[in-house]
């Protein structure tokens, strides 16, 4: 007499494995993990930009980089340049205070801006905003394109 698994036994084992795999995929949820990692990068970027702005101000007797005003602006340079909506702070910060200007992970494939003077016409966007307080000399940098967080990622110092 030969010993072997029956078709029913094999199907039961395959079914149990399929259920375990489904439970594992639901628990891990790779899409949510990627979204959380993007939000973590945004938080890190916001802190890096804010630190660089403060280092610039410390080295320049409290003067902020040109373009930072009490009106919230995108950290970008559009073509043609629009000082009313653009805070073009790249040249002031890169490479002295930042090796590269951080960019939102879903903007420009997340490639940081390293060249602030080349390329004609030069345009860039970080998808982050910056504003100076009118009352207490504090700077706020915000990432508005969050994926998991229910509110914008914002740091004020």
Whether residue 68 lies inside any domain: the answer is yes
| Residue 91 belongs to a domain | yes
Q: Give the highest mean pLDDT range of 1-10, 29-38, 116-125, 128-137.
A: 128-137
| pTM assigned to the model | 0.82
Q: Does residue 2 form part of some domain? A: no
The answer to whether residues 104 and 127 touch, using CB atoms and an 8 Å cutoff, is yes
In a domain, 1, yes or no: no
Q: What is the predicted pLDDT for the residue at 120?
A: 53
HSE (CB half, 13 Å, CA atoms) of 29? 8
Coil, helix or strand for 124?
strand
Residue 150: CA count within 13 A, CB half-sphere: 0
Total structural domains in the chain? 1
| Three-state SS at 126 | strand
Q: Domain limits at 140?
A: 7-156
Question: Would residue 143 count as lying in a domain?
Answer: yes
Count of CB atoms within 10 A of residue 105's CB?
22
pLDDT at 106 over 70: yes
Cα–Cα distance measured from residue 77 to residue 75, given in angstroms and rounded to the nearest whole number = 7
Any domain includes 80: yes
């Amino acid at each position: 007499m030969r010993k072997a698994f029956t078709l029913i036994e094999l199907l039961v084992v395959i079914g149990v494995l399929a259920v375990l795999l489904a439970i594992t995929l639901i628990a891990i949820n790779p899409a949510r993990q990627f979204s959380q990692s993007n939000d973590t990068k945004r938080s890190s970027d916001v802190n890096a930009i804010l630190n660089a702005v403060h280092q610039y101000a410390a080295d320049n007797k409290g003067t902020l980089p040109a373009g930072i005003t009490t009106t919230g602006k995108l950290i970008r340079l559009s073509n043609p340049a629009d000082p009313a909506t653009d805070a073009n702070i790249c040249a002031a910060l890169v490479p002295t205070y930042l090796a590269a200007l951080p960019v939102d992970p879903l903007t420009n494939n997340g490639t940081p801006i390293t060249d602030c003077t080349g390329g004609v016409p030069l345009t860039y966007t970080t998808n982050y905003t910056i504003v100076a307080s009118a009352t207490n000399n504090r700077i706020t940098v915000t990432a508005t394109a969050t994926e998991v967080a229910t509110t914008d990622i914002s740091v004020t110092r």
